[in-house]
A and B are shown apart, each in its own frame.
Chain A
């Protein structure tokens, strides 16, 4: 065994045993550095005879190359081990919880969401959204809507009055969204197609009534609108709103001072399962809205000739249809701001109701 074989054997062992980069570098300097053992041996080549050199040259070059390669290979192994060690040291417990994002915590109230749903549907049918004040005059809330002074129909409204002013006139909190019908007719020429969502007030408070609630009113006025058109609009609305392909509706004659003829509308449903109402199935009827042809006196109050213009109007409770669709059992909870209720029944801020993406998710 030559000296170089001995060295190679020794170094192979040493390199393999090098624990880290520094030890490896020490070996490299000791053997291959300027003054290293192998470098020194290679310097001896110049003093050799050509024959000796012919033999020793390739031998020493081979030794040097193999040692270099061994060091490089060992360095690679050590680097990988170092990365592995670092990664192991950097390990975190990914089961630790992260905070929920703000958009996941926030909620839109069911009333706002349902108004957006209603808006999406009626916008598609060419309706605009009209609004009016909550504090109304007796004229807009009653007289212009064909509620004669002293008429029992006024009594059915359980009106909130404000304190009388100097002239003894007392404003009211609107008992329905219908005053906006008159305000719209005063401001705009037919054709009129509006829906009016808003707050309404009645002096009533029990399990199914709250002193404030929400209604949506609809009004169509032109020269041809009929009950047949009204049925179509309301049936299309109810199908779209309740997101069912078919829905039977029952129109019953009824009475409202501001429409003639007047009707109440029931929708077909199945109430056999507790806590759930299924629309478009079953044998029960549920009252959902009131409607009718705008009374000639109301058209006149709005400055329109009832022999030229005609139209229909309807009104329904937003809170009520929200309860029917989403299953809230108690109206009072809508206004209690209990965060547990709002988190459960509220909607995420990015759940925008659209017709192209569906009114509700799932």
Chain B
């Protein structure tokens, strides 16, 4: 066995762990979403399956597995099958470059928390994958041969392409400050409450709003606007294929939350000096503490996503496009200009 084989095995094991974790996070978010929406609407929410309805997501998954899988007669069977796979695959692939904690050293061996957290082009990789994610939804809409699906697919791709721009430009300001495209470097740069949210408040807001649009979540869930489009791009999907789109939506939400936490909220940085707990850098205890704080930040952000969905009504399509192109894009460009000038003066 040479070195490359070991690297491959290590990456494979980590990928399996991360996928398992993501499935759990998705199940938990579905449960939280239903409970929070019930709370906001003065209902009780799921409470029959297991204690406090905790097993409800698993019951839902079983239901989806057992349901008949219908492909419309006029659909393009090949694209209809592959579209949910693209959506879910892309949603998971993003985690290849996300650092879950700082690296640890055991017996002079460096162990990374993440598959390739140190890669130099981490942010670009994530941007590239989000642009690939458009294909899953677009192909789903097109291949169903249904006008509602097609409209949903078109809306979604137009929306994602538009908001990708302001998202990318908001990122540029962060990159200017850090001077690196690696997520690990960006997180390290925010040590000791030097969080980017305080340095880049405008960029944070632009990125947050764009993430809502990128994940097709309310108030920007026009691709599946039920009153107008039946179910949007996934109208003709049933069984586990629908389940995969559903899962991809929640996985994307978790990805967006993790990304916001990494870029603006200090990622796995502890909110207090680690010496208070007597933690040494690059030990297992330290890494676990960092991971715990990352999980807390992501959980708060996921709750925020859910909270917004059940509080704010859906935008109209022209409002969505106006917001993206006439408000967020100019603001992002101004933000880059200000950041660049301030950095130049400080140097």
Asked if chains A and B come from one complex, the reply is no
